[in-house]
C-alpha cells in the first residue's frame, strides 16, 4: 500500500471517529411552536429560526438526530433534508475506499457538505414537524458541538476526495 493510500485511509478513519463522537453530543437546540388552532397546518406556525430567540419551548437534541432524520423525511418533514448528507458522504467514502471515481466522490461529498452546512438553516424555510400529528413546527435556533463534529467529519471526507481527485489528475498529466 502506497503512502498516499495510507494517508487517505487514516483521514477516512479520523472522519469516522469524529462522526461517531458527534452522535454523543448535543447537536442543536430546536424551538417548537404551535399555531393557536389545531385546524392550521404546521406550516402556518411562526418560527424563530437560527440565531433568533426561541418563540416556544426548546429541546436540545443529540447528534443521533442526524442518524434518524430519514424517518422525518419519510413523514414529509422536508426541514430534515440535511439528513441526506449522511448517505451521500458514505457513498463518497465508499468510492474513495474502492479507489474508484474520485471526481464523483468529490462531487457527492461537496453536495453532502453543502446540505450539512445548510441543514439547520433549512428549518427556517422548510417544514420540520414538532410533533407526531403535524400540528407543531420546529426550527433550529442554535448549533452545538454534535453538529460541528458532524460537519467536520463530512469536511474531512470532502478534503480526502479533493486530494484524491488532484492526485488522479496529476497522475494522468
Q: Are 106 and 165 in contact (CB under 8 A)?
A: yes
Mean pLDDT value of segment 131-139: 74
Dump pLDDT digits (tens) for 48-96. 778 778 887 787 866 555 566 666 676 667 777 888 899 999 999 999 9
Q: Is the per-residue pLDDT at 5 higher than 60?
A: yes
Mean pLDDT value of segment 151-156: 97
Over pLDDT 70: what percentage of the chain?
A: 79
**Could you give the CA distance from residue 140 to residue 26 in angstroms, rounded to a whole number?**
12
The total of other beta-carbon atoms located within 10 Å of residue 171's CB is: 8
What does the pLDDT read at residue 138? 81
What does the pLDDT read at residue 141? 87
**Could you give the CA distance from residue 173 to residue 159 in angstroms, rounded to a whole number?**
21
Identify the CA nearest to 156 among candidates 6, 17, 5.
Answer: 17
- Supply the pTM of this predicted model: 0.84
Mean pLDDT value of segment 95-114: 93
**Could you give the CA distance from residue 40 to residue 34 in angstroms, rounded to a whole number?**
9
Residue holding cell 467514502? 93
Alpha carbon 74 to its chain's center? 16
Residue holding cell 461529498? 109
Domain residues of the chain, as ranges? 3-172
Amino acid at each position: 500500500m502506497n503512502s498516499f493510500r495510507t494517508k487517505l485511509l487514516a483521514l477516512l478513519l479520523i472522519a469516522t471517529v469524529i462522526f461517531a463522537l458527534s452522535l454523543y453530543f448535543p447537536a442543536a437546540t430546536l424551538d417548537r411552536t404551535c399555531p393557536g388552532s389545531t385546524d392550521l397546518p404546521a406550516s402556518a406556525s411562526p418560527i424563530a429560526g437560527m440565531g433568533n430567540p426561541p418563540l416556544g419551548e426548546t429541546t436540545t437534541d443529540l447528534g443521533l438526530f442526524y442518524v434518524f432524520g430519514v424517518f422525518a423525511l419519510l413523514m414529509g418533514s422536508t426541514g430534515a433534508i440535511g439528513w441526506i448528507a449522511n448517505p451521500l458522504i458514505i457513498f463518497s467514502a465508499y468510492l474513495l475506499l474502492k479507489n474508484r471515481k474520485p471526481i464523483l466522490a468529490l462531487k457527492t461529498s461537496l453536495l453532502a457538505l453543502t446540505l450539512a452546512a445548510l441543514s439547520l438553516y433549512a428549518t427556517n424555510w422548510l417544514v420540520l414537524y414538532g410533533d407526531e400529528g403535524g400540528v407543531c413546527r420546529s426550527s433550529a435556533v442554535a448549533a452545538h458541538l454534535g453538529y460541528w463534529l458532524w460537519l467536520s467529519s463530512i469536511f474531512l471526507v470532502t478534503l480526502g476526495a479533493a486530494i484524491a481527485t488532484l492526485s488522479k489528475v496529476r497522475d494522468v498529466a
